[in-house]
Amino acid sequence: MAVITVSDSVKNLKGAEYVANSVKELVSGAGGGAVVKDEGGRVTVKISCPDRFKEVVRAETLDKVADVVAIYYKYDYFKTAVNLYGLTPEEKEILFTGLIAADLEDDKKYAAARLGLKEEISVDGVFNFMLIPLKRKWEDVASYLPSRFKGEQLKDFMTYLLERKSKRVYVDSGRVYDWHFRRLKRSDLLSGENIKIVREVLLSNCGEVELSGNLPERDEKYLKEYYGDKVFFSKSDR
């Protein structure tokens, strides 16, 4: 069996759990596994798989670790560094999620190139020593934000971010799926359960949303507010 190890500071347990849960879905059917361990100040994810699947699993692991950097680390930075007035807690979460989504794919590519397809990855080590330009980019973004933000400004900003998006995602009874009907769980890297659906949709970088089944009132409100006529209802729900 091949073994891939991902390590991080224990304070970043959420990221380690995301990697483990995501990769576990891939390797479990082949007799592999993904185990999270607290090793005294550091958390490790031990991913095992048959040797013939090693390259596929390494690529999937790298993709999920890049998610951790581009979403979890960036979110943590904004939550700590950005002080905004004029927005509700929900609106702040939407703003932070929108800022993450705006450069998500570029940030992931940059992070993945420096993390590399390795059998051992120290996430915080790579971030602190090899991804300094990425953090400086986030600092620049934060410096452009006004100290006072209004709900109308947020709506304009979100509309601008979404206007050129074209992909469609599907929301079925609170679960979000991409156009290949794969479950999306990137919002697990963010804090809290409120408006989790709308944040998951934003992180998908989609331009259209198809809804089916029951949806929390607040999520439905924000989806309609920001996506407007790009929100569709399944025929079975009409």
Q: Among the listed ranges 6-10, 34-38, 150-154, 201-205, which one has the minimum average pLDDT value?
A: 150-154
The yes-or-no verdict on residue 108 having pLDDT over 60 is: yes
Share of the chain above pLDDT 90, in %: 82
Cβ–Cβ < 8 Å for 71, 104: yes
Mean per-residue pLDDT, 10-31: 94
Report the alpha-carbon angle 167-198-100, nearest 5. 75
3-state DSSP of 88-149: CHHHHHHHHHHHHHHCHHHHHHHHHHHHCCCCEEEHHHHHHHHCHHHHHHHHHHHHHCCCEC
Q: What is the pLDDT of residue 150?
A: 86
Amino acid at residue number 98: G
Q: How many CA atoms lie within 13 A of 7 on its CB side?
A: 11
Edge-first strand order for the sheet with 231-233 is 175-177, 168-172, 208-212, 231-233
Mean per-residue pLDDT, 203-214: 94
Burial of 193 (0-12, 13-18, 19+ CB in 10 A): exposed
Q: How confident is the model at residue 95 (pLDDT cuts 50, 70, 90)?
A: very high
Q: Which residues pair with 210 in a beta bridge?
A: 170, 232
CA distance 157 to 200: 18
The yes-or-no verdict on residue 65 having pLDDT over 80 is: yes
State the chain's mean pLDDT as an integer. Answer: 94
pLDDT tens string 157-196: 998 999 888 899 999 989 999 988 999 999 999 998 899 9
Mean per-residue pLDDT, 32-54: 95
The yes-or-no verdict on residue 238 having pLDDT over 70 is: no
Q: How confident is the model at residue 233 (pLDDT cuts 50, 70, 90)?
A: confident
Q: What is the pLDDT of residue 236?
A: 57
Q: Which helix (H) or strand (E) holds 163?
A: none
Q: Which residues pair with 233 in a beta bridge?
A: 211
What DSSP assignment string belongs to 16-74?
HHHHHHHHHHHHGGGT-EEEEEE-SSEEEEEEEE-GGGHHHHHHHHHHHHHHIIIIIIH
The yes-or-no verdict on residue 237 having pLDDT over 70 is: no
The yes-or-no verdict on residue 29 having pLDDT over 90 is: no
Amino acid at residue number 181: F
